[in-house]
Amino acid sequence: MTQTPRTTVIAETWLELGNGVGPLSNAAGLPLARTIKLVLDPLVLRPAQRPHLGHALLSDDAADEVRERIRAAAGDLESTAAWFTMMKSRRRARRITSGSPQDLYFQKAYELARTASEASEAAADAALDEVHDPGRMTAADLREFLAATATRVRAVIDEAWGGAMHDAVEDPDIAGLADELAGGGFDAFDRAVEAGEGSAAGRALSAPGAARAAGMTARDVPVPPEVGEQASKANLPDPFDRSILERLFQQVSSLGIQGTQALSALVDDEARRSAAPWQLAAEENRLVMAAGRAALAGGAAGGVLDARWQREAFVRRAHRMGTDAREGAREAVMRRLWARLQGRELRRIPADATEAWDLIDGATRSVILDRRDAAKARMGRA
Amino acid sequence: MIFGTDRPEPWLAAVFEGAGATLWWNASTGETGGEVWDVARASGWLVMPEFATDAPHPRSERTAFFARAAAFADWREAWWPASYVRGIAPLDPRALSAERAVALAALDGVTDDEDAPARALAGLARWTAELGMLDDTAVSAEAVFGEAGVAGADDLVRLADDYGVALVPAPVAAREDYALAAAGEAPAAALVGGSDPVDPGAVPPGTVDPFARIEWRVTATMALEATVAAAPVIGSAPAAPLTALVGPVEVPLGRTGGVWAGRVTGGAAILALAPEHRTARLMAQGFEPVAGVDPAVLARIAGSD
């Protein structure tokens, strides 16, 4: 049985769609990064429901299914492109400058493509109003809300922590799982989700020093979070040491939350999340954390991440950019990974095995790029 | 897996970081090669070469064109040998940023970092906020703009907005002339002095003139003074902390106009050295030197033999 890279199947089928999807394509006619991430994967191919379509290498049958699904969506995708173009043009006409159009409009445009008829200015304006709704809760609203309800929120936190299992359990060995993920396999991941190994690894963090070693806290043993009165992006503590405010303030305005009741539900969810293993709600996400930790410890998966750092050392010199900066990177990657997983939970993006490695590798890349930017800034070039 | 020419020395490497594969061009010879580090990811945009000696080539000529353009914009930002001494004019950082941003936006979906276009456009926005918008002539000058359908500043603004970046069309600032700066005061009478060539690999871009010499002298009052010509730049000069190391003595340097200069006590230590140990070189804190840089080769690449 031959195996074809998923990226090849998508690229070749996308090129068949032609000019109608131009606004969703790059200069070579290939789909944009966010066309894949926000439209093709979650709305057309849906590997979360059809894991066989999420493999990096596809069997002939799966490749055919991917092609068919993209071809069948051709009309919707062309219409999405038209709506996206219309929304951008109305954005300019109305001098809206906040947010990134791809991030904000792609999924809305797809929704309009599936539900509305021809792209019209009025409908595009209504969509923009919805996306840019000023009635949404902001970080300031959140801070005010937490200040007014601190006692109640405190009680929710304490209740959640009181009911949580704090006994240190044995840390499962998932090095093999991490290696399999790095090699493109999902079977061990799916088995480990069923066995709850991500949760077990998370509970094992309550042993003295364990959560600190994982980069999650500066304390010996994690404690329940504060409600929080202040938060700043520049001084965020380690993930488990963040207050409820610090866990939510950067994301709240992009979540489209309307009204105090919804804000209250968001806060309660966060309080309960903080008492869960890895302080994450979904078993899949807990397992991604555990797999990330295993990968960062070495093995074949660690080798893949090491190779990234070695390429970075070369690029740093080629860019005449000072020293390599790998010190403390392991913990930094773990913190980045946690923040991304928590962010996905807030957005209700389901986790699945097909994305696990990309999340771990992506957190590593993100730390590398941030350190590159910081090096540039230190040299006075940013 | 490495295909085509091996990685050039870092100072000759123009690099494009694609999804699953890193491509490079030797800035001196033009030879190209690459490392495919994830076949499954790279297959979306790259045709896997059959033999290790074949350079990897993108599926589309346009991808190849923009990847090369992005790589060379990075190379020029890092290694362009702007020099008073050789009369090599500095490049406009807005034009370089714009080239990179336009190329990376054309490569959206192909870059390793999916936020590369937005990052590059944010970099351009910082420069236009400082120096004003690029004029349409500058935008039409480079092939990369034409190929991407960017005909003028308005198109750049639109492209940036596509990624949520506001290019504020600030009034064009008076362009700072990079004309030769005065060389400074005449040095005090020296007991002993000397000079050594600059190693551009020892310092960050935009700091020191790669064809200058590091001049040092011990004055009658036993002060040790060091000076070296700064690199000409357009816009604000990078504020890297430079130090001249003369023999064993560190002389912290400050940039004033076109010259880096510093003065410390401790000249006696130099007098005590055997003449062959009275050498000077530059260091920058937190900057790991890149070995083997030949300024003459940089000048040739810059078209100034």
Give the gap in angstroms from C-alpha A253 to the nearest C-alpha of chain B: 16
The verdict on residue A324 lying in a domain is: no
- Give me the residue from B111, B166, B240 closest to A97, CB to CB: B166
For residue B38, the model assigns a pLDDT of: 93
The verdict on residue A25 lying in a domain is: yes
- Give me the residue from A103, A320, A365 closest to B290, CB to CB: A320
Q: Do A381 and B15 touch (CB under 8 A)?
A: no
B80, B110, B159: best mutation site toward chain A, by most A Cβ within 10 Å? B110
- Give me the residue from B37, B79, B109 closest to A320, CB to CB: B79
Q: Say if residue B9 is in the same domain as residue B157.
A: yes
Portion 8-67 of B in contact with A at CB < 8 A: 10-11, 13-15, 17, 19-20, 22, 24, 35, 37, 39-45, 58-60, 62-63, 66
A-chain CB neighbours of B108 within 8 Å are 26, 32-34
Q: pLDDT tens across A350-380, in order?
A: 888 889 999 999 999 999 999 998 888 877 6
The verdict on residue A269 lying in a domain is: no
Q: Do B108 and A32 touch (CB under 8 A)?
A: yes
The verdict on residue A138 lying in a domain is: no
Please give the helix or strand (H or E) that residue B245 lies within, else none.
Answer: strand B242-246
**pLDDT cut 70: percent of chain A above it:** 98
Q: Do A100 and B118 touch (CB under 8 A)?
A: yes
Burial of B216 (0-12, 13-18, 19+ CB in 10 A): buried
For residue B141, the model assigns a pLDDT of: 78
B-chain CB neighbours of A98 within 8 Å are 164
Q: Do A320 and B204 touch (CB under 8 A)?
A: yes
A162 touches chain B (CB under 8 A): no
The domain in which residue B250 lies consists of 190-301
The verdict on residue B269 lying in a domain is: yes
For residue B178, the model assigns a pLDDT of: 47
Q: pLDDT tens across A187-234, in order?
A: 899 999 999 999 999 999 999 999 999 999 999 999 999 999 999 998
Q: Do B286 and A378 touch (CB under 8 A)?
A: yes
For residue B183, the model assigns a pLDDT of: 47
Q: Say if residue B141 is in the same domain as residue B260.
A: no
Q: Say if residue B277 is in the same domain as residue B149.
A: no
Residue A382 — pLDDT band, cuts 50, 70, 90? low
Spatial distance between the Cα atoms of A71 and A337, rounded to a whole number of angstroms: 34
Rg (alpha carbons) of chain B, rounded to whole number:
22
The verdict on residue A295 lying in a domain is: no
B97 touches chain A (CB under 8 A): no
Residues 6 or more apart whose Cβ sits within 8 Å of residue A189: A177, A180, A181, A287, A291, A353, A356
Those residues of chain B that have pLDDT short of 50 are 173, 175-184
B94, B104, B113: best mutation site toward chain A, by most A Cβ within 10 Å? B113
For residue A170, the model assigns a pLDDT of: 84
The verdict on residue A187 lying in a domain is: no
Give the gap in angstroms from C-alpha A37 to the nearest C-alpha of chain B: 10
For residue A134, the model assigns a pLDDT of: 76
- Give me the residue from B13, B107, B162 closest to A318, CB to CB: B13
The verdict on residue B115 lying in a domain is: yes
For residue B179, the model assigns a pLDDT of: 45
Give the gap in angstroms from C-alpha A145 to the nearest C-alpha of chain B: 29
Single out the residue of A50, A356, A332, A343 nearest to residue A189, CA to CA.
Answer: A356
Q: pLDDT tens across A109-154, in order?
A: 999 999 987 888 999 999 999 988 878 888 999 999 999 999 999 9
Q: Say if residue B136 is in the same domain as residue B31.
A: yes
Give the gap in angstroms from C-alpha A116 to the nearest C-alpha of chain B: 24
Angle between helices B61-79 and B93-106 (to 10 degrees): 150
Single out the residue of A380, A146, A96 nearest to residue A246, CA to CA.
Answer: A146
A-chain CB neighbours of B239 within 8 Å are 380
B-chain CB neighbours of A100 within 8 Å are 118, 163-164
Question: Within its chain, how far is the Cα of B126 from the centroid?
Answer: 17
Q: Say if residue B31 is in the same domain as residue B79.
A: yes
A377 touches chain B (CB under 8 A): no
- Determine the residue type at A356: A
Least confident piece of the model among A57-66, A165-174, A240-249, B290-299:
A165-174
Q: Say if residue B16 is in the same domain as residue B114.
A: yes
Q: Say if residue B116 is in the same domain as residue B211.
A: no
B-chain CB neighbours of A320 within 8 Å are 11, 78-79, 201, 204-205, 290
Q: Which residue has the tokens 């910082």?
A: B126
Residues 6 or more apart whose Cβ sits within 8 Å of residue B108: A26, A32, A33, A34, B116, B117
A-chain CB neighbours of B287 within 8 Å are 322-323, 379
The verdict on residue A156 lying in a domain is: no
Q: Say if residue B207 is in the same domain as residue B245.
A: yes
pTM listed for this prediction: 0.93
Give the gap in angstroms from C-alpha A140 to the nearest C-alpha of chain B: 22
- Give me the residue from A101, A324, A369 closest to B164, CB to CB: A101
Mean pLDDT of chain A: 93
**pLDDT cut 90: percent of chain A above it:** 81
The verdict on residue B177 lying in a domain is: no
| Residue in chain B lying closest to A98 (CA) | B164
B-chain CB neighbours of A382 within 8 Å are 123, 126
B283 touches chain A (CB under 8 A): no
A33 touches chain B (CB under 8 A): yes
Q: Say if residue B129 is in the same domain as residue B25.
A: yes
The verdict on residue B174 lying in a domain is: no
For residue A1, the model assigns a pLDDT of: 65
The verdict on residue B283 lying in a domain is: yes
The verdict on residue B171 lying in a domain is: no
Total number of domains in chain A: 1
Q: Do B43 and A32 touch (CB under 8 A)?
A: no
Give me the interface pTM, i.e. the ipTM: 0.92
Q: Do A33 and B166 touch (CB under 8 A)?
A: no
Q: pLDDT tens across A155-184, in order?
A: 999 999 997 766 667 889 999 999 999 998
Q: Say if residue B194 is in the same domain as residue B156.
A: no
The answer to whether the CB of A361 falls within 8 A of the CB of A305 is yes
Total number of domains in chain B: 2
Q: Do A102 and B163 touch (CB under 8 A)?
A: yes
For residue A149, the model assigns a pLDDT of: 96
Portion 97-136 of A in contact with B at CB < 8 A: 97-103
Does residue A273 have a pLDDT over 50? yes
CB atoms within 10 A of CB B47: 14
Task: Compute the average pLDDT of residues A244-251.
Answer: 96
Give the gap in angstroms from C-alpha B218 to the nearest C-alpha of chain A: 30
Q: Say if residue B214 is in the same domain as residue B144.
A: no
Q: Say if residue B93 is in the same domain as residue B198.
A: no
Q: Do B110 and A99 touch (CB under 8 A)?
A: no
A95 touches chain B (CB under 8 A): no
The domain in which residue A64 lies consists of 1-132
The verdict on residue B175 lying in a domain is: no
| Residue in chain A lying closest to B125 (CA) | A382
The verdict on residue B108 lying in a domain is: yes
Q: Do A100 and B42 touch (CB under 8 A)?
A: no
- Give me the residue from A33, A57, A99 closest to B114, CB to CB: A33
Q: Do B114 and A34 touch (CB under 8 A)?
A: yes
Single out the residue of B31, B137, B32 nearest to residue B92, CA to CA.
Answer: B137
For residue B184, the model assigns a pLDDT of: 47
| Residue in chain B lying closest to A183 (CA) | B38
